[in-house]
Amino acid sequence: MCSVSFFSGTSYSGNGKAYNGQQGQADLGTQYYKANEKDDLKNDIQSVQTDGNGWVIVFDELNYQGNSLLIPNNSTITDLEAYPRGDGGDWKKQIQSFLMYDAQPGFWNFNPPMPQINEAAFSKLFPDSYEDDKLAGAAIAYNIEDSVYRIYMPTFSWRDINSTCYYVHLDHENSAATDDHAEFYAVFDNNGNLTDIQNFNWSEGGAFNITSNAVDAIEDIVSLTGDLLDVVTDGVSTEVADVFNDVFSVGCKIFNFACGQIYKYTDNGGVFYFLPVIIHIINRLTCSVNAGTVD
């Protein structure tokens, strides 16, 4: 089993907390040295130890974002101030999240940049939205008639030598129908390009069944997204992004019109609008990914 220990003081002094087993902690502000005290680990760590099986990556932002530092197995870091961070800083009291592996990850020596979700940019792509954290996790939401569409901030899932994966979760709430939910995993290459959508799942509780054709349509759109993003990397990102948004907007308008004509007498829950919402999320997500940096 792998293990890492964090300490609030140098040379393993002060408060300490050990973690055992492969895991990730996305917010050390929710982690406490002692269960009956409220001293959290966020921006409080000055020294670190790993055992023979612990391979750790620490980050200076929540949700595995920002600058990162690789800490291999059998490490004894007595003072993080000695480790440079970003442009001129150090790692003393800067750790906000971490990942731990029970064996050396394949990307360790290669250490490619980790694509990261720019949450501020993602939020700005929903100009009529508002922050919504009343359920599990930070989210943004917007209202259309009597429906609420909630998009949770994508969260890190896994990483290998070629790819980084984020989990995406959406809700559709309606006062006159049972809620609908969609979730999937978005996989990006090391340049931040979307390469795959995995484990797409739509659990609907309204009046209509979502057929496999709808899922296939989304997969086709994602394939188109990948093709467009290949062009973005060739230096025409602004123009392609504009075209990309126009294409998806037109597609969603056509979809909304067709569904509105066919089901205008039966769909009182906004279920069919949930599909273009999902398409727009994929669109905006691909426009909000930055290739990360590592120290």
Asked if residue 104 lies in contact with residue 276, where contact means CB atoms within 8 angstroms, the answer is no
Asked if residue 59 lies in contact with residue 98, where contact means CB atoms within 8 angstroms, the answer is yes
Domain ranges within the chain, ordered by starting residue: 3-101, 115-291
| Per-residue model confidence as pLDDT tens digits over 143-186 | 777 778 888 888 888 888 788 899 998 888 766 555 778 888 99
pTM over 0.85: no
Q: Which amino acid is at 126?
A: F
| Per-residue model confidence as pLDDT tens digits over 204-248 | 654 344 444 444 554 455 455 555 444 444 444 455 555 555 555
Structure-block tokens of residue 47: 């020294």
Q: What residues have CB less than 8 Å from 159, skipping those under 6 apart? A: 99, 105, 107, 114, 165
Would you identify the CATH topology of the domain 3-101? Answer: Gamma-B Crystallin; domain 1 (2.60.20)
Q: How far is CA 95 from the centre of its chain?
A: 18
| Per-residue model confidence as pLDDT tens digits over 103-145 | 998 888 877 778 888 888 888 888 777 776 655 557 888 777 7
Structure-block tokens of residue 9: 């003081």
Could you report how far apart the first and last alpha carbons of the chain are, in Å? 27
Element (H, E) at 183: strand 177-189
CB atoms near residue 139 (< 10 Å): 19
